[in-house]
Structure 1
Amino acid sequence: MIRAALIALALLTGPALAHRLNVFAWIDGGEVVVEAKFASGARPRVGMVRVYDGADALIRTMGVDENGSARFPLEGAGQGLRIEVDAGDGHEDYWILTPDDIARQTGG
């Protein structure tokens, strides 16, 4: 009985994990690069990116491109950034760039 319940649970969670959205962000020159991918490796073709500063104020919104990516200028990131991506249907995740991450990646 327990074995059947565990198998059923595994079958139910498998499809959910396949649609898990993963978000990555890093600094490239003077820009922040955001990349979103589903666990399957597929990239969302539509989605909204919201960027919050270190005080949790929304400072920028934009869509992802056809590759599930977005770029924006680094300015305003002194206290760090929280970057959220919403690809719809409950597929959301975020990435945090701390002030230390930003300093390390910009050589400052």
Structure 2
Amino acid sequence: MKNLPRICCLALLSLLLVAGTALAHKVNLFAYVEGGTVYTESYFPDGSRVGGGKVQVYDGQDSMLLEGTTDQEGLFSFPVPKIDDLTIVIEAGMGHKNSFRLNRAELEGGR
């Protein structure tokens, strides 16, 4: 029982270290449709923008429809390529990757 506080502290420290590592590889991606165009915004947890990030767009059958690169503000836009469920993937280098799903109804509503 004497070691219980020490074990608890070590366990808590281990969890904090793992959580910090997980956040280090996180990138945020948001997308919306307006006027027949899909707009994306990508940034890191600290608020800095993903400049030069690789963007790929897939349809509901996982076929790649298009790809491009974010600008220095982390922005990328494209005309709606297909009325289908779309998955947008951002790769920001060094293991930073995330995806965002737009469903068919959102694409139809954003025309």
Q: Is it true that 1:96 corresponds to 2:101 in the alignment? A: yes
Residue ranges of structure 2 left out of the alignment (5+ in a row):
1-6
Give every structure 1 segment of 4 or more consecutive aligned residues whose post-TM-superposition deviation is greater than 6 Å. Answer: none
Output one character per residue of 1:22-71: Cα deviation in whole Å (capped at 9) or x when no partner.
11110121210011111111111121000001221101010110011100
Equivalent pairs: percent with the same residue?
Answer: 35
- Displacement, 1:14? 2.1
- SS of the residue aligned with 1:87? strand
Unaligned ranges ≥5, structure 1: none
Separation in 2, partners of 1:20, 1:75? 27
1:83 matched to 2:82: no
SS of the residue 1:5 aligns to: helix
Distance 1:71 1:40 in 2: 23
Amino acid at match of 2:107: I
Instruction: Tell me the CA shift for residue 90 of structure 1.
Output: 0.5
8 Å CA contact 1:19, 1:40 repeated in 2: no
TM-score (norm 2): 0.84
The aligned runs of 1:1-108 (5 Å cut-off) are 1-76=7-82, 78-106=83-111
User: Structure 1's 89 and 22: CA in aligned 2 closer, same or farther, altered over 3 A?
Assistant: same
Following the alignment from structure 1 to structure 2, what is the Cα–Cα distance between the partners of residues 96 and 105?
Answer: 14
Q: How many residues align structurally? A: 105
Q: State TM-score, norm by structure 1.
A: 0.86
The answer to whether the Cα contact below 8 Å between 2:37 and 2:79 also exists between their aligned partners in 1 is: yes
